[in-house]
Amino acid sequence: METPFTLQGQRILITGAAGGIGSEAARICAGLGADLVLTDIRPDIPIAEELRAKGAKVETSAIDITDRAAVERLVREAGALDSLVANAGYVVWDDWEDEGWDETFRRIMDVNVLGVFHLVRAALPGMAARGAGRIVVVTSVAGKVGGVRSGPHYVAAKGGLNAFVKWAARRAAPSGVLVNGVAPGPTISPMTASQNFDSSGIPLGRMARAEEIAAPIAFLCAPASSYICGSVLDVNGGIFMG
């Protein structure tokens, strides 16, 4: 393996690319040589222009990942993908006694679980047919420890994703496709901007910067991680040591 930390020539689809971690994943992957297909429910993906200005090949699209037909169209139109980074996620900082909570529960499950299933189901056959591919699912430490500040819907959704990574990894491995996850701890991004996290509970004493989550994501797309299969990497400053 000559250059295990390159993404040169790879075509990578990243969801949630308008957000904190997705933008940084795009930046690092492009820096390592990848061509990108960036998507988000938001029509504007600011990182795209920045990366194009530096010479990267970047396509963008706006879809809601809970829309199965839209996901399948996107993946079809994206062509031969080397990696999929299923990063888009959704949290609501509420209480399960709140009025209308069941609706919030359904939306959180739809975005964080069903949306990821749509993506993986759509991307796997093409990768399997080519005998190679990487799928990286962004889960959360919340799904491992029961949440730092998040509620039961998000905790259950991300715990479900941690399990799903293993299901998908077993299914995909025989065809040469590696499925893994990254489980971030509290990370500075628009998602957490309204919350106060007590850093004294984090062994490293601070929240993560988005690029500190993005780098392990890129690693799981790179040749360097060719024997990692069904892992969910703990990237949480020591909150949880698996």
Pairing of strands 208-209, 187-188: parallel
CB of 196 to ligand NAD, least distance (A): 12
CB 104 within 8 A of CB 92: yes
Q: List the catalytic residues.
A: 154
CB 45 within 8 A of CB 71: no
Q: Tell me whether residue 42 or residue 76 sits nearer to ligand NAD (CB atom).
A: 42
Closest distance to ligand NAD from the beta carbon of 106 (Å): 12
Minimal CB distance residue for ligand NAD:
19
Nearer to ligand NAD, 61 or 175 (CB): 61
d(CA 24, CA 36): 13
Give the footprint of ligand NAD on this chain (CB under 6 A): 15-16, 18-22, 40-42, 64-66, 87-91, 111, 115, 138, 140, 184, 186-187, 189-192
Residues 96 and 195: their CA atoms lie apart, in Å, by 18
Is 7 or 65 the residue whose CB approaches ligand NAD more closely? 65
Alpha helices in 79-151 (DSSP H): 101-109, 115-130, 142-145
In whole angstroms, how close is the CB of 134 to ligand NAD at the nearest point? 17
